[in-house]
Amino acid sequence: MYFDGASRSPDGEKQSDPKINQSEGCSNNEAEYEAIIAGLELSLKVSIDDLTIYGDSELIIKQLNGEYQIRKPNLITRG
């Protein structure tokens, strides 16, 4: 799975492609996590047994691998 939490294209225009988009009004890191969570939830629905996650955010990848701590409370717990 590839994730990218950017909500705008490099030219500043809103994306209108068919990718999953559900992260309005949040930080880029929060958007990255929302993209990962959406992908993981989808993989559970279609019964994927083996999943590799790729992304362009060193911070997010290192947090997911346990190399960096997650300090923002709303990124640690999710209801």
The percentage of the chain sitting over the pLDDT mark of 70, rounded to a whole number, equals 68
Would you list the DSSP string of 8-41? Answer: B-TTSPBP-SSS----TTS-HHHHHHHHHHHHHH
pLDDT band, very low/low/confident/very high, at 23 (cuts 50, 70, 90):
low
Residue 11 pLDDT > 60: no
Cβ atoms of 62 and 56 closer than 8 Å: no
**With a threshold of 0.75, does the pTM exceed it?**
no
Task: Quote the domain boundaries for residue 22.
Answer: 2-76
The domain total for the chain is 1
Which residues are CB-neighbours of 66 under 8 A, at least 6 positions away? Answer: none
